[in-house]
Amino acid sequence: MSILVDSNTKVLVQGLGKTGQFHTDTAIAYGTQMVGAVHPSRAGTESHFEGETDHTGVPGRDNTYSVDLPIFATVKEAVAATGANASVVYVPPPFAADAIMEAAASRLDLVVAITEGIPVADMVKAKRYLADKPTRLVGPNCPGVITPGECKIGIMPGYIHQRGRIGIISRSGTLTYEAVHQVTQLRLGQTTAVGIGGDPVNGTNFVDVLAMFESDPETEGVVMIGEIGGTAEEEAAEFVASEMTKPVAGFIAGTTAPAGKRMGHAGAIVSGGKGTAAAKIEAMTGAGIVMAETPSDMGEAMVRALG
Amino acid sequence: MKIHEYQAKQLMAARGIPVPAGRVAITVDEAVAAVRSLIEDSGNPVVVLKSQIHAGGRGKGTFIEHPEVRGVIVVTEAIDGGVEAAEARIGELAEQMLGSTLVTIQTGEEGRRVSRLYVEQGVDIDRELYLAVLLDRSASRNIVMASTEGGMEIEKVAEETPELILRAEIDPAIGLAPFQANELAHGLGLEGDSARSFGKFVKALSDAATQLDTDLIEINPLVVTADGAVMALDGKMAFDDNALFRHREVEEMRDVTEEDDAELAAKEAGLNYIKLDGTIGCLVNGAGLAMATMDTIKLVGAEPANFLDVGGGATADQVTTGFELITRDKNVKGIFVNIFGGIMRCDVIAEGIVEAVGRLGLEVPLVVRLEGTNVALGKQIIDESGLDAVSADSLSDGARKIVELTT
């Protein structure tokens, strides 16, 4: 088992510009079932992808791929033609929230929004639109979701992952890679790694993903990586204390970040004394989460938490 | 992006939100020239001279060059001496303020140079309230925050007397509903005309927040005047940088003299740079990893000189610009490059480093930690370049090494 995505997930890509094109190629090479693209100006054509797969030499797997991905004008048409149940959004920021709503209008199970720089007000509206839809949004401004060996949706490097028993949730892209890499080197591997994104308004939060990992039989422990800004980590700590039976390891970035400054991510800001790293570390430690002092110790912290 | 008080008031006035009459001045003559019409039009002999900088606490702040002068001054000379006396006083004060350095609790010791003044009509204040529109991240919507404790620091009110803060969530599809405005007015103890004026005010303000894509609008204080009118005595606005593409009139209000040169240069190059006070320069890919790198430097006993995120798809050129920004900071005694190449390839970073050092020279120790895509090739490029760089196996290893080399 895993959460959110697996080998049955059929994925559409929304926005087949340079970035969308590049990452669709790496997703196909990884073995993800990419079934179509939505890009109105190229509707009715196909986009060709070919190359060596990531599992070249693995017995029973293909060494090469050659795919003609059909391009559609709308998500609705694409879903009707392909049976897609998930999409990934690479659409530029001014139009990305609309793309998310379009995916939800077709009642996809999952939308993963990679786009960075979507106006907050657009996300506020999109989130309200999603409230009565069955669609789960992950992101925006996130690396994506991966279930190793089955499905990679997003911009993370596939090869650092290894199928295993640890769930990973993070607001930061590169810190997710650090955690994944360490967990792989310790031979624990991952069930699923989820980047929830660095924006102040996002679709899925720590608590949502923690609950999914708690009920996933294959996941034995969770690494949770937060950063300054907001109170999502504090809410997650409460959830861990009251609802989680599985061990959780954690890390918070931004202890040295000055107040009132946005640290790269739109959501990473300490304002009015709220959202400090100290408060988050205290809440998480209090909830029994084993905290890593530096990102280099995240894997070790997971080992300690597993006991 | 932040703007000045007078600009926020212009944006409010354009949306029918009541603000006192005022004139901006960049010279002493302009400040003096504003006085007569403000006094004659309002019928109030009091005028207020306000320094315009992007920082709060101006009323209690003082100038380095003139410690006896505060950042905001109420000029009452016209009450006894007529308009001419007020003009003389404003002239004298403007002379001292313009070009001088204002230090407030928010500017740091170095203060900010004042190059714009705002001359505003006096207002007879009956009550001071607090009003703001900002994002509630847990609710994923904007909220209106209001309090009877106007003129106070709202963080302090929130901590000491949270029951004095009222909140109303703004539904993005509906806007602030009339009943919510009524609840707020009632909660603030407003009645009759004042309650009605407040209702219109808060509705217009919450609509302005949506129309203008603000991160924050804060009116502190919002005043009820002696004759029952509701008016923004101060006004602070900050905007969502990601939405500026659809607000040219706001973008044109940008005052670059209020922004850090290095941060501006970084933004132009597509980098995220924030200068800090320490000695270890850091160049990192990814915001979370960049913060964590700073934290780890601190943990092993030094202070980071900056936050620098070169992003997920940086080019060799951007790495060079990043290096330039770091070495421009004279406090930097060592540089730590920490890259986990996912999409970004380690060989591209390595080429950028070699090129930057070739062009700019290197006078301080350099530690490089590369991990991820094409790491072997990246390390090989650094080794073969003959660059005097120490390589590290992990973030903590790298942080320890750079701190040892600089102490």
Question: What's the ipTM?
Answer: 0.91
Residue B226 vs residues B125, B126, B199: alpha-carbon distances, Å: 6, 5, 18
Do both A191 and A262 map to the same domain? yes
Provide the residue type at A270 as one letter.
V
Residues A104-125 have pLDDT tens digits of 999 999 999 999 999 999 999 9
Residues A228 and A294 in one domain: yes
Q: Give the structural domain span for A126.
A: 10-138
- Is A79 among the domain residues? yes
Contact B340, B285 (CB under 8 A): yes
Q: A193 and A281, same structural domain? A: yes
Which pLDDT score is estimated for A134?
97
The reply to whether residue B159 touches residue A273, judged by beta carbons under 8 angstroms, is: yes
B137: closest CA of chain A, how far (Å): 6
Taking CB atoms and an 8 Å limit, are B290 and A296 in contact across chains? no
> Does A256 contact B246 at a Cβ distance shorter than 8 Å?
no
Query: Across residues B373-398, what is the average pLDDT?
Result: 89
- Cα Rg of chain B (Å, integer): 26
Record: contact A295-B289, CB cut-off 8 A: yes
Residue of A nearest to B153 (CA): A272
Same domain flag for A190 and A226 = yes
For residue A128, give the nearest of B173, B245, B304 by CB distance.
B173
Please give the angle made by the CA atoms of A149, A151 and A155, to the nearest 5 degrees: 105
Give the residue from chain B lying closest to A261, CA to CA: B274
The one catalytic residue in B77, B218, B258, B351 is B218
Pairing label, strands A190-195, A163-170: parallel
What pLDDT, on a 0 to 100 scale, did the predictor assign at position A219? 98
Query: For all residues of chain B together, what is the average pLDDT?
Result: 93
Rounded to the nearest angstrom, the minimum Cα separation between A69 and chain B is: 22
The residue with greater pLDDT, A159 or B50, is B50
Same domain membership, residue A130 and residue A26 = yes
Contact across the interface for B142 and A124, Cβ inside 8 Å: yes
In a domain, A143, yes or no: no
Q: Is there a contact between B213 and A120 if contact means CB atoms under 8 Å apart?
A: yes
- Residue A291 maps to a domain: yes
Position A299 confidence tier, pLDDT thresholds 50, 70, 90: very high
Residue B142 Cα, gap to closest chain A Cα (Å): 8
- The enclosing domain of A291 has a CATH number of 3.40.50.261
Facing B135 at nearest CB: one of A120, A251, A265: A120
Show Cβ contacts of residue A300 under 8 Å, excluding neighbours closer than 6 positions: A182, A186, A292
Axis-axis angle for helices B316-328, B261-268 (nearest 10): 180
CATH of the domain at A56: 3.40.50.720
Number of CB pairs, chain A paired with chain B, less than 8 A apart: 170
Find, among B242, B338, B241, B260, the residue nearest to B295 by Cα.
Answer: B338
Does residue B299 carry a pLDDT above 90?
yes
Percent of residues, chain A, with pLDDT higher than 70: 100
Please, which pLDDT band fits residue B362 given cuts at 50, 70 and 90?
confident
* pLDDT tens digits for range B315-325: 778 888 898 89
Strand-pair category, A64-72 with A46-52: antiparallel
Closest C-alpha to B7, from B249, B316, B336: B249
For residue B114, pLDDT beyond 90 = yes
* Tokens read off for A44: 């009715």
Distance CA A226, CA A213 (A): 17
Q: Are residues A126 and A177 in the same domain?
A: no
Q: Which residue of B has its CA nearest to A178?
A: B340
Kind plus residue range of the DSSP H or E element containing B328: helix B316-328
pLDDT above 90 (res A78)? yes
Q: Distance between CA B52 and CA B3 in Å, rounded?
A: 9
The helix (run of H) or strand (run of E) holding residue B338 is strand B334-341
Q: Which residue has the higher pLDDT, B385 or B92?
A: B92
**Is B110 part of the annotated catalytic residue set?**
no
Full-model pTM: 0.93
Name chain B contacts of A168, Cβ cutoff 8 Å. none
In the predicted model, is pLDDT for residue A101 greater than 80?
yes
Question: Once rounded to an integer, what is the mean pLDDT over residues B355-380?
Answer: 89
| CB pair distance less than 8 Å for A293 and B299 | yes
Determine the pLDDT at residue A129: 97
Catalytic residue among B130, B258, B273, B351: B130
Note whether A283 and A193 are same-domain residues: yes
Show residues of chain A in contact with B287, CB under 8 Å: 172, 198, 227, 263-265, 268
Give residue B402's Cα distance to chain centre: 32
pLDDT band at B158 (very low <50, low <70, confident <90, very high): confident
Model confidence at B388, pLDDT cuts 50, 70, 90, reads confident
Do B135 and A123 lie within an 8 Å CB cutoff?
no
Report the residue of chain A nearest B371, measured CA to CA.
A178
Q: Could you read off the pLDDT of B262-278 as tens digits, one per residue?
A: 888 898 888 999 999 99
Chain B residues whose CB is inside 8 A of the A175 CB are: 286, 288-289, 292
Residues A182, A183, A188, A194, Cα dihedral to 10°: -160
Joined tokens for residue A115: 């786009």
Whether A102 and A229 map to the same domain: the answer is: no
**Known catalytic membership, residue B218:** yes
| Mean pLDDT for the stretch of residues A176-194 | 96
Looking at residue B317, its pLDDT comes to 82
Give B155's contacts in chain A (Cβ within 8 Å): 272-273
Q: Do B295 and A256 touch (CB under 8 A)?
A: yes
Q: A257, B210: Cβ pair inside 8 Å?
A: no
> What are the structure tokens assigned to A142, written together?
């996130």
Please check whether residue A5 lies inside any domain of the structure.
Answer: no
Report the pLDDT value the prediction gives residue A239, as an integer from 0 to 100: 98
Asked if the structure places residue A155 within a domain, the reply is: no
Residue A26 CA to residue A32 CA, distance in Å, equals: 9
For the record, the structure tokens of B342 come out as 């996912």
Minimal C-alpha gap between A168 and chain B (Å): 15
Q: What is the pLDDT of residue B192?
A: 93
Tell me, yes or no, whether A48 lies in a domain.
yes
Instruction: Determine how β-strand B272-275 pairs with β-strand B141-147.
Output: unpaired
Report yes or no on A42 lying in a domain.
yes
If asked whether residues A199 and A276 sit together in one domain, one would say yes
Tell me, yes or no, whether A166 and A299 share the same domain.
Answer: yes
Amino acid at A112: V
Contact A89, A117 (CB under 8 A): no
Judgement on whether residues A68 and A134 belong to the same structural domain of the protein: yes
Of the candidates A119, A200, A294, the beta carbon closest to that of B396 is on A294
Among A227-231, A251-255, B117-121, B312-316, the range scoring the smallest mean pLDDT is B312-316
Domains of chain B: 21-121 (3.30.1490.20), 125-251 (3.30.470.20), 261-406 (3.40.50.261)
The residue from A23, A39, A161, A265 that is catalytic is A265
Q: Which of B351, B285, B379, B343 is nearest to A159 (CA)?
A: B343
Q: Please name the member of B272, B340, B397 whose beta carbon is closest to the beta carbon of A178.
A: B340
Q: Is A191 part of any domain?
A: yes
| Domain count within chain A | 2
Are A272 and A174 found together in one domain? yes
Question: What is chain A's length?
Answer: 307
For the residues B349-374, what does the mean pLDDT come to? 89
At residue B396 the predicted structure's pLDDT band, cuts being 50, 70 and 90, is very high
Note whether B240 contacts A121, CB cutoff 8 Å. yes
